[in-house]
Amino acid sequence: MNNLAFGQYYHTNSVIHRMDPRTKILSSLLFMIGLFIIPKNNFLFMGIFALFMVITILLTKVPLKKFLKSIKFVTYLLLFSFVFQVLFNSEGELLLTINHNLTLVNVGICLVVLICLFLLRKKIPLFFILFLVVLVLGVKFLEYPVYGNVLLNYDIKVYTGGVITGAFVISRVLILIISSAVLTLTTKPTDLNNGLEALLKPFGKKTSILAMMISIALRFIPTLFLETEKILKAQASRGVDFNEGKLKDKIGQIVSLLVPMFIISFKRAADLADAMEARGYVPGEKRTKLVKMNFTLKDVIYLLSIILIITIVIIYRVI
C-alpha cells in the first residue's frame, strides 16, 4: 500500500526543491500542454522533452526509485495501449506477420504458464519484465501447432505505424506522469497551496479555498493510506483474505474496506474542519504567509527553457 508515490513529498535540498512553487506549477502545466502539441510520431521532439525531464530528475536529487514507483500504477495500462496500437494500427509498411496455429495443447500450455506466473507474482522480483518476456515468448510459441488439430489459424500483421505510434503514446504518457511526479515530489503541499493560490489570484478571491482544498487533500493522502493499511490488517486478522476468493467475495471484501474508510474520512474531515475553524481559518479571507516566494534566476531559466521548447514545437507545427 505504501508504494503510492504521487502526492508524497520527498524531502531533500536540491535546485528544483528550492525553486518557486509557482514556477514548478506553471512549468509542469506548460510541459504537459507541450507534450500534447508535439506532432504525431515526432520522436525528435519527444526526445527533447524526455531529455529535459531526465535533466530535471537528475537535478531533483530524488532517488529514481520514487519516480519508478509513480509509473508502476500505469504499467499495465501502457502495455495494453501499446499492444492495441500494434494489433490494430495498419499504417506504414508491413513489419512482420505472425501466423498463429492454435491447438488445445499450445493454448493450454500458454494459459497454465500465465496462471502460474500470476499466482507466484508476489515472490518474483521484477515480475513485470518477466511477464513481458513470457508474453513475447508466448506469442512466438503459438505459431507452432504442438499437438492435435489446429482449431484456429490466423495471421497477426504488425505494421511499422503501429509500433511507432505505440511507442509514441507510451513515451507521452510516461513523460506526463513523471513530470507531475516531479512537481509533487519536490513541492511541499503548503508550498503547492501557496503557489496555486498566487497563480489563481487573478481568477477571483474564492480561489484560495480551492488551493487550500488541494493542499489538504495532498497532505492527507499518506495519512489515509496508513489508515487503510490499519483497516486491512484489522480485517485480515478477522479472517478476510483480500487476495483470494471469487469475484463475489472480493466485492464483499472491498465493501468491508470502503465503508470504514468512508466513515473514518468523514469523521476526520469534520475534526479537521473544527480544528481549522478554532485556529481562525475563515475560507476566502485574507491570510499572511510564512513562506516567502522568491522568483529567482533559476526560475527564469527553467521557465524560459520550457517556453523555448514549446515555441519551437509550435513554430514547427505552423510551418
| Per-position x/- string for 181-200, each x denoting binding to other proteins as judged by CB under 8 A, each - no binding | -------xxx----------
Q: What are phi and psi of 177, to 5 degrees?
A: -65, -40
Greatest extent of the chain over all pairs of C-alpha atoms, in Å: 78
As a whole number of angstroms, the distance between CA 44 and CA 47 comes to 5
Which residue in 107, 134, 261, 276 binds other proteins (CB under 8 A)?
A: 276
Q: How far is the CB of 183 from other proteins (least distance, A)?
A: 14
Applying CB under 8 A, does 149 fall inside the site for other proteins? Answer: no
Q: How far is the CB of 215 from other proteins (least distance, A)?
A: 8
Residue in the block written with cell 465503508: 259
* Eight-state DSSP code of residue 202: G
Applying CB under 8 A, does 226 fall inside the site for other proteins? Answer: yes
Applying CB under 8 A, does 238 fall inside the site for other proteins? Answer: no
Beta bridge partners of 159: 94
Contact call for residues 203 and 184 (beta carbons, < 8 A): no
Applying CB under 8 A, does 1 fall inside the site for other proteins? Answer: no
Which residue in 247, 278, 315, 319 binds other proteins (CB under 8 A)?
A: 278
Applying CB under 8 A, does 272 fall inside the site for other proteins? Answer: yes
Q: Which residues contact 160 (CB under 8 A, 6 or more apart)?
A: 91, 92, 93, 95
Applying CB under 8 A, does 150 fall inside the site for other proteins? Answer: no
Residue whose CB is less far from other proteins, 121 or 287: 287
Q: What grid cell was written down for 107?
A: 493454448
Which residue in 114, 130, 214, 216 binds other proteins (CB under 8 A)?
A: 216
Applying CB under 8 A, does 271 fall inside the site for other proteins? Answer: yes
Q: What are phi and psi of 153, to 5 degrees?
A: -130, 120
Q: How far is the CB of 268 from other proteins (least distance, A)?
A: 5
As a whole number of angstroms, the distance between CA 45 and CA 279 comes to 50
Applying CB under 8 A, does 262 fall inside the site for other proteins? Answer: no
Stretch that binds other proteins, among 42-50, 138-146, 232-240, 286-294 (CB under 8 A): 286-294
Which residue in 138, 145, 222, 260 binds other proteins (CB under 8 A)?
A: 222
Q: Which residues contact 231 (CB under 8 A, 6 or more apart)?
A: 257, 260, 261, 264
Applying CB under 8 A, does 281 fall inside the site for other proteins? Answer: yes
* Eight-state DSSP code of residue 2: T
**Strands annotated E in the chain:** 94-102, 152-159
Neighbouring C-beta atoms of residue 62, cutoff 10 Å: 22
Determine the size of the site formed for other proteins (CB under 8 A).
32
Q: What grid cell was written down for 106?
A: 499450445
Applying CB under 8 A, does 289 fall inside the site for other proteins? Answer: yes
Please give the residue ranges that form the binding site for other proteins (CB under 8 A).
9, 11, 188-190, 215-216, 218-219, 222-223, 226, 268, 271-272, 274-282, 285-292
